[in-house]
Amino acid sequence: MPLPAPQSLADQPDGRHVLRFIADDVSQALDAARTGLAASTAEVCNLSISTVGHLVEGVLRVRRLNEAGAVSLADQLAAGPGVRSARVEHLWGRS
């Protein structure tokens, strides 16, 4: 009897994408997160923002988003005013 095909983590409800972005200040980081999430189907698990020298770093954990959606969200974050970079860092959760 063949084994069932494994599901992608992105398709599992417990899978979460972690996105990291750098902005000039806290208000620009929050605006970028708000704007990016408004255009996304993602469900927010956690958003943390911390200072790194004179910049701020945002770490956004979301679920209910496939890989293409996570990349699109990172692109939306990167397009925000004052945002210097954004990327999908990794995916974690149950496999």
Token reading at 68: 């293409």
d(CA 20, CA 47): 10
pLDDT digits (tens, 9 = 90+) for 35-80: 999 989 999 999 999 999 999 999 999 999 888 999 999 999 999 9
Task: Give me the phi and psi of 47, to 5 degrees please.
Answer: -135, 125
Handedness of CA 10, 92, 15, 24 (dihedral sign): negative
CATH 3.30.200.20 fits 15-92, yes or no: no
Provide the whole-model pTM.
0.81
